[in-house]
Amino acid sequence: MNNAQKDKAFIWHPFTQTEGLKILPVIKHGKGALLYDENGKEYIDAISSWWVNIHGHANPYIAKKIALQAKKLEQVIFAGFTHQPAIELAERLVQKLPEGFSKIFFSDNGSTSVEVGIKMAIQYWHNLEKPKTKIIALTNAYHGDTFGAMAVGERGLFNRPFESLFFDVEFIDPTKPDEAKLKFEALAATNQIAAFIYEPLIQGSGGMIFYESQLLNELISISNCHSIICIADEVMTGFYRTGKFLASNHLQLSPDIVCLSKGLTGGFLPMGITTCKGFIFDAFTSTDKFKTFFHGHSYTANPLSCSAALASLDIIEKPNFDMLIKGIEQQHLKFLYLLKKLPQIENPRVLGTILAFEVKNEQNSSYFNNIRDLLYNKFIENGILLRPLGNTVYIMPPYIITKKQLKKVYNIILEVLSSL
Ligand SMILES: Cc1ncc(COP(=O)(O)O)c(C=O)c1O
């Protein structure tokens, strides 16, 4: 076949209806909180490019560190070998994690960090020869797009074609604390539950749903009494998104497994980390080869991703870093005050660097609500990248966003709301 007969390449984008697809902006470069398309149009990235980019686009320090690492070692198999960036990253992360977390397992992204967490929990019980496989998760949860991660997520339109293939999961609704606690207690009492997985305090893709820390403390406490392994999916909430290093740091009780990704590399390169407490690791420490954790990805602990994560930690550990987080939160809180007076919206809320609210409308609040496209397009026209989840509008900016840029985001939101 010669070249003339070949089809034109078509890129199949995620979460994008292919019928009637518009021409997408071609992003040529980024700087700080800004993205620039090929026509020179500027966009404020108010969602940190799917919640990953915490230190700004093309951050020169992180870029330099990756380039230096690329000249030394770009990749090496991580089974049977190790390398300095992974060792240093593990050591430095452990300093920041809650007490008891010292075991670090690398993978490639948020979904795989969750898969690893679920597999660790289930194999833990298998290795102890007390097999249990049932999991408790939260309604409206989102944990990723691989099969295990989908199975513990909300059973909705996104994963309907696959639903018959999912394993057994019990769901409780964190927005109905009394009911949730009762159901959780009853399930825990069956002694059949291997693990409880949750997005701590805020359910991201489910619609930036906030729920009470008291409920989560109680559920973790019940789990501890019944030896249920608690898996905190901190893929979105980690790395100061909610004001503290982990959202779990807002709680009195800590989980047994934590899943990390997104902000981990400052938004430069894909990487996932699943960290667990010693008692879980101990169940895999055996002369019996069948107790090994047989899970590994080609790019596990890629040295370039590790160097990006190390550079990101360097920035996080700078003395004034927490002022950035507090500054965004304070600015959000002032805007919240204003939002509370608007009749077109409801339930405005802030946690750390996240601000969210719902736009009132006749349709239900699902992701497929038409108002979502209308809002998205209006924001884009005005040079703001905001990606509403149905009628839920949220801001989750890079931490280096300037006061002026954030003010512009607020102003455009107000303009768009008043035009509805
Ligand atoms: C809480 C949570 N877990 C897991 C994931 C999946 O991460 P990834 O898209 O990197 O696979 C996401 C992505 O949005 C998330 O918000």
Residue 1 pLDDT > 60? no
Task: Give residue 18's pLDDT band: very low, low, confident or very high (50, 70, 90).
Answer: confident
Please, are residues 184 and 138 in contact by the beta-carbon 8 Å criterion? no
- CA of 143 from ligand 1 middle (Å) equals 5
- CA of 52 from ligand 1 middle (Å) equals 10
Distance CA(400)–CA(56), nearest Å, equals: 6
> Residue 329: its pLDDT value, please?
98
142 CB within 6 A, ligand 1 = yes
How much is the average pLDDT of 44-51? 98
272-277 and 345-351 strand pairing: unpaired
Distance CA(116)–CA(59), nearest Å, equals: 30
Residue type, position 168, single letter: D
Residue 4 pLDDT > 80? no
Residue 363 pLDDT > 70? no
| Strands of 354-359's sheet in order across | 345-351, 354-359, 392-395
> Residue 370: its pLDDT value, please?
80
Closest residue CA from atom 13 of ligand 1: 144
Please, are residues 57 and 268 in contact by the beta-carbon 8 Å criterion? no
Task: Give residue 362's pLDDT band: very low, low, confident or very high (50, 70, 90).
Answer: confident
Question: Tokens for 327?
Answer: 């500054």
Choose the residue to mutate in 143, 237, 241 for probing ligand 1, maximizing ligand atoms within 8 Å of C-beta.
143
- CA of 244 from ligand 1 middle (Å) equals 19
- The model's pLDDT over 112-144, given as tens digits with 9 standing for 90+, comes to 999 999 999 999 999 999 999 999 999 999 999
- The model's pLDDT over 289-299, given as tens digits with 9 standing for 90+, comes to 999 999 999 99
For the chain, what is the mean pLDDT?
A: 96
Task: Give residue 319's pLDDT band: very low, low, confident or very high (50, 70, 90).
Answer: very high
Closest residue CA from atom 7 of ligand 1: 110
Closest residue CA from atom 10 of ligand 1: 110
Task: Give residue 5's pLDDT band: very low, low, confident or very high (50, 70, 90).
Answer: confident
Q: For the chain, state the CA radius of gyration.
A: 22
Domains of the chain: 25-58+321-419 (3.90.1150.10), 62-316 (3.40.640.10)
- The model's pLDDT over 51-85, given as tens digits with 9 standing for 90+, comes to 999 999 999 999 999 999 999 999 999 999 999 99
109 CB within 6 A, ligand 1 = yes
- The distance in angstroms from the start CA to the end CA of the chain is 53
